[in-house]
């Protein structure tokens, strides 16, 4: 392997390591301040435990687990959005409220998608 290729691989590895570090820092910051993230994490653990406790296909189990992770991702994005809105908008503004409400709605819709998947699997 040539020196240029090694340099490229090292740079990519460094970028990936930084991404992991920044993601972990974001998770820890949100975990420390966002009760809803902790609540959704507990719901996720219960959902995963149930998904592995009852008979379902690998695809069904994968769907349940993936949707649970998407709820957490939506909650993290909502937290980021709220932080930015609070930083930018020091006064009450209908646009700031709309942005925050839309972020909250995104979390709710993602959670509903998980609930729908559970209903279809359990009923079907």
- Residues with catalytic annotation? 75
DSSP one-letter code for 55: -
Unique residue bearing structure tokens 């998980």: 114
Q: Are 106 and 78 in contact (CB under 8 A)?
A: yes
Angle between helices 35-53 and 94-123 (to 10 degrees): 10
Q: Are 98 and 37 in contact (CB under 8 A)?
A: no
**CA–CA distance, 3 with 33 (Å, rounded to integer):** 45
**CA–CA distance, 69 with 37 (Å, rounded to integer):** 11
């Amino acid at each position: 392997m040539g020196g240029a290729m090694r340099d490229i691989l090292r740079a990519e590895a460094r970028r990936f390591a930084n991404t992991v570090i920044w993601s972990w820092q974001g998770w820890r910051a949100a975990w420390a301040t966002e009760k809803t993230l902790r609540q959704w994490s507990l719901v996720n653990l219960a959902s995963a435990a149930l998904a592995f406790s009852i008979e379902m296909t690998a695809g069904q189990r994968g769907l349940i687990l993936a949707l649970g992770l998407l709820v957490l991702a939506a909650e993290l994005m909502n937290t980021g959005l709220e932080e930015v809105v609070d930083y930018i908008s020091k006064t009450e503004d209908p646009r700031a409220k709309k942005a925050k409400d839309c972020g909250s709605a995104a979390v709710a819709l993602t959670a509903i998608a998980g609930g729908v998947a559970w209903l279809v699997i359990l009923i079907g």
